Structure 1
Amino acid sequence: HDNDRVLICLYSEIFLNDLLAPIYLNVAREVTFINGIDVIRKLEKHVLDGHFQATTNFIVIDVTDLYRMIPREGALHALMRLLKKHSDHGKIGTLSIDAIMRMARLVLDTNCFAYDNKYYKQTRGGAMGFTFTQALANIYMHEWEQDLIQHQVVHNGIYGRYIDDIFMTTNQNRDAIKIQFEKVAKKNINIKINFEIDTSVNFFDVTINNEDGCLKTYLYHKTTAEPYILPYTSDHPRHVHRNIPYAALLRAARICSDVYDFNRERIRIDISLLLNNYPPNFIRKQFDRFFQVNNAMPVLDESNSQVYHRLHQQLLH
C-alpha cells in the first residue's frame, strides 16, 4: 500500500506541474526571466525608454533555501487563490479546485527524506527535484514579490525573477532600497534574502555593467565551470558538430553589446573548439558560414562596430 501511495504521489506531482506551470507562466511572464538574453532585452528597452542613467545601479537578490523555507499552509493558500482567480465555474479544465487541492495536499503529505538510516516526514517546504515543488514555490513567491514589483513600477525600474534569483535596476540611493527590502522582510518572515547592489553584477550567464550611463553586457564565465563542447571525435552526425560553432557565436552575438567583447568571445570559442580536436579549417568554415548567413562579414574581417551593432540587435530580437 505504501508503494501504491508513493506511485500515486509521483504521478500526481507530474500532473499538477503540467496543470499549474502554464497558468503560472501566463500570469507571471512579464516579471519572469527565462535566461540571460531575456534580461538583456529588458535592459536595452530600459535604455530606449530613457530610464537608464549614470546613477543606475543593478540589484541581484538571492532567496535563501526557497524550497525548504516556503510554509506549507501559506503556499497552499496562495495556490487556492490562484486557482479561484483563473478557474471557470470552480474548475480548471475538467478538474474541480477541491480535487486539485486534495492532490496537492497528498503530494505534500507524502514528502519524506532519509537521514542516518531513518525516514522522516518533511513538514515544511517541498521535496527538491519535484517539479510541483518549483511550481508551488513560484506561486508563493509571486504573491510575495507584488510589493517589490509595484515599487519598481512607481520608480521606473526593472524587476524580474527566475525561481530564487531576482534582478532589479534602481535610480534610488542604496539607503532607500535597503529600507524597501526591510519592509518586505518584515511583511513575510519566511522568505530570507541576500542582496548585492552595484554598477556591475553577474546574472545568469551575463556580466552587466553601467559605464558612466552606458549599458555594457558580455558573457560571464564562472571560474569553476569548465566549458563543455562535444568533442569532434564523438560519434554524432556531422551536422551536430557543424551547429556547435554556429550556436556558440549566436549566443555571444546576442549577449555581447560591443564588437570588442564579441571578438574576445569568438577567440575563446575558437580555442575551445581546437582543444576539442575540431580541425582549424572546419572551424574557419563554420565561422564564415555564421557571418555570411547573417550578412556580417565586416565584423569578422575588420571588427566593424556599426555592422556588429546591427547584428546584435537583429539576433537579440
Structure 2
Amino acid sequence: MLIKGLKYIPPCQSRFSRQSIDAIVNEQYTTLRPNIQGCLDDHRMQLIEPREKEGFPSLKRMLYELQSKKLPRKLRIRARRERKVVQSILKILHNRPDIIIRRTDKSKVFYIGNATVFTEKASKYMLETEAYREISNEHCILSENHHLVISLLGSLLKNGAINQEQYRQISPSKNRSELAHLHFIPKPHKPDTPLRPIVAAIHAPATQLSKFLNDLLAPVFLRVARETTFINGIDLVRILEKYVIDKQLKPTTLFVSFDVENLYTMIPRQGALIALIEFLERYLPNKRIGTFSINDIVRMARLVLDTNVFVYENKYFRQIRGGAMGSAFTQTLANIYMFEWEQDLLQIQQANKEIYGRYIDDVFMTTNVPFAQIKDILERANKKDPNIRISYCIQSKIDFLDVTVTNDNGHLTTSIFHKSATEPYILPYTSDHPRHVYNNIPYAALLRAARICSNVDDFEMERVRIDLSLLLNEYPPSFISKHFIRFFEMNNATSVLNGLNTEAYHALHQKLLHQPTRREKQMQANGEDINPIPDVLKKKKPWDPNVMYAKYNYESGPRSAFQHKFRTWWKTHFGHEASSVEHVHIKFAVKTNRTLEDAFVNKRPPRHMLLRKPTNVLPPPESTRNTT
C-alpha cells in the first residue's frame, strides 16, 4: 500500500464511514443547495411550475440513490481489502512509536525511519542554525499576534493602502486562529538524508498577510530579475540552446552548479529587511507599488517575521533568524537577499558573456576560464557573506534541477535527470481521483520529455521509461497507447513515434521548447508595463451570474456518475428551454477523499497546544512602527 505514494486515495471511503447514509446525503445537499439557490435568485426565477417546485426534493433523492446504490462486486472487494490494509498499517504505527513516517522532500513518496534518529537530526538542526528560541512564559501570544495583525491592517486601511475588501480578506479569523507548528521532512536525495524544516501556519494570524505580501512583491522581483531567474528546467534548456547559437559553447566550456545551505533559515532578519528596502528604492520608479509605500511594505514584512511563533515537540518557539519555510513571503524575501549577494558573480558572468541563472537556492553557470580561476571566484563568493554558504560542482557534465547538461567536446546535449535516491512518482490508475485527472498524465510526461531532451534517442529512452512507469502503476495498455498517439498526432509528429525520425524530432523539440506557458504569457503582458500593478491589487472580475459552481465529493462507484446525473437533473427541473437559467453554464468543483498521506502522516500537535497562549520574553515587535 505504501508504494502507491502520498497522493493515492483508497476507493469508496464513504461506504465505511461512521455517518449514516442520511447524514452523508444531507451534508452533500447542504453544500450544493446555496449555490443553486443563489443562481436561481440571480436570475429572479420563481419556482412556479410543478417540475421546478419538485427540483430540490428530486436532488436529494438523486444524492440518496447515488450513495445507497450497491457497489459493483470487484470494486466492493477491492475497497474492503484496501481499507483493511490501511487499518492494519495504522495499528502498527500506533503500536510502534519508534517508527516515523513522513513525506519526502521534492517527491511524492513515503519515508519510513527511526523516530529517535529523526528527532536527533531535527534537534541538531535547530541547535546548529541557532534560528529558534524556546518560549518559556505564559502570556497570550496568539491573541497578541492577532492584535498586531489587526492593528497594522487598521493602520493601512486608515491611510488608504488597502480597502475594506482587502481588509476583510487579510484579517485573521479570531475563531479559527491558532499557532503554527514545526515539522521536518527528509531529503533522501542528499547524503545522510538531512532534514528540511517546514512551518505549517495555515491558520496563524499573519498567514493571509504573508500571502498578500508575496503576491505584491513576487511579480516585481521577477520582472527585475527575470533574465537571471530560472523558472524551471525548460527555462534552462532554452537559455543553453541560445548560448550554443551565439557560439559561446567551446570544447573546453565547463558548467558550474552550486546550492546555498539552509537559505531560508540562515538569512539575517535585519539584513534581509535592509536588502528589501534597498531593492524597493532602486527598482520602484515611484517608490510605490499601487497604493503601498515602501514604508507600508516594510511594516508588513517585519510583522510577518516577528509573529513567527510555533509549536514543536510540546514546546513553544519563536524563529529569530531567517524566515519560515512554509510562509509564502519567505521565498520572495530570500530571493531579494540573494539578488543583492549575487551581483558580483553576475557582473563577472555578464562581462564574459556567460550564463548565470538561479532557481531560489540553486545556481547554474557556464564558464570558459580555467578550472583554478573559476574555483577561486567561487571561493571568494563563499566568503562574501557569513550567512551564505555554498557547495559547488564544476564539470563538463552536470545535473541541475531536472536536467542533465553535457558538453561533449563542444556539442551540447540535454536530457531528463532522474535523481538516484528519489523515486519517480506517477499517480496510480486505481487511485480514487476523477477520471479526467489521468487523461493528461501521459501527455504531460511526454511534453516534458520532448522539451528537455535535445536528441531523439534520449527522448525515446524517456518515452519507454514513461511507458513502463504507467504500466507499473496499473494504467491499461490501451489507455497508454491512446494517449501516446494523441500526443504525437496533436503535434504533427507521428514519424517520431513510428521511426525515430531525427529531423522530425528536432522540429518537435524546438516547437514545444519555445511554446510559451500560460504563466509566461502573463509575464510577457506585464513586462510591457514599466510599473505594472500586481494581480493582487487589481479589481476582481465581477461574479458571473451565468456560471454556477456545483461542489461535490468524488468517489468511485455510483457516485462517479454525479456530473451526468446533475446535468440531467438541472435540465429537467430548472435549465429547461425558455427558462431564465437555460443558458447558465455549470462548472464542477470537485473535492476528493483522504489520501494515504492524510491517513499515515501525523505531524500536527494536539489542538490544545495550538490554542495555548505563551508569549516571548523579547520586547514587542516593531512591525507596527514606521521604519522609513
TM-score bucket (shorter structure): over 0.9
Contact 1:253–1:312 (CA<8 Å) still a contact in 2?
yes
Matches for 1:1-317 after TM superposition, within 5 Å: 2-7=141-146, 8=149, 9-87=206-284, 89-114=286-311, 117-317=314-514
> Structure 1 residues 302, 11: CA separation in 2 closer, same or farther (over 3 Å shift)?
closer
Distance 1:97 1:301, change over 3 A: same
Greater gyration radius:
2
Alpha-carbon separation, structure 2, partners of 1:226 and 1:65:
23
Note if contact 2:454-2:506 (Cα within 8 Å) is conserved in structure 1: yes
Amino acid in the other structure paired with 1:3? L
Cα distance between partner residues in 1 of 2:312 and 2:497: 57
SS of the residue corresponding to residue 172 of structure 1 reads coil
TM-score of the pair, normalised by structure 1: 0.94
What do the CA deviations read for 1:163-192 (whole angstroms, capped 9, x no partner)?
A: 110011111111111221233233322211
Q: Write the letter of the residue equivalent to 1:150.
A: Q
Q: Runs of 5+ in structure 1 lacking a partner?
A: none
Q: CA separation of 1:239/1:89 partners in 2, compared to 1, >3 Å: closer, same or farther?
A: closer
Question: RMSD of the TM alignment (CA)?
Answer: 1.7
Q: Which amino acid aligns with 2:429?
A: Y
The farther-off stretch of 281-290 and 106-115 is 106-115
Distance 1:172 1:11, change over 3 A: same
Q: TM-score, normalised by structure 2?
A: 0.49
The answer to whether the 8 A contact 1:83-1:92 is kept is no
Counterpart AA for 1:314: K
The offset of 1:95, in angstroms, is: 1.9
* Structure 2 gap segments, 5+ residues each: 1-139, 150-205, 515-628
Secondary structure of 1:80 counterpart: helix
Q: How many residues align?
A: 317
Contact 2:428 2:475 in 1 (8 A): yes
Structure 2 vs 1, CA of residues 146 and 88 (structure 1 numbering), >3 Å: closer, same or farther?
Answer: closer
For residues 218-275 of structure 1, give each alpha carbon's deviation from its aligned partner in whole angstroms, at most 9, with x where no partner exists. Answer: 1111223222223333444444322211111111111111111111111111111111
Q: Distance in 2 between matches of 1:208 and 1:266?
A: 19
Q: CA deviation at 1:114?
A: 4.5
Q: Name the structure where helix makes up a greater proportion of residues.
A: 1
> How many Å separate the matches in 2 of 1:87 and 1:250?
38
Q: Which amino acid in structure 1 is aligned with residue 248 of structure 2?
A: H
Q: Counterpart of 1:174 in structure 2: which amino acid? A: F
| Structure 1 residue 116, shift from structure 2 partner | 5.5
Distance across 2 between alignment mates of 1:114 and 1:237: 36
Residue 143 of structure 1 and its aligned partner are, at CA, apart by 0.6
Among all aligned residue pairs of Structure 1 and Structure 2, give the percentage whose two residues are the same amino acid. 59
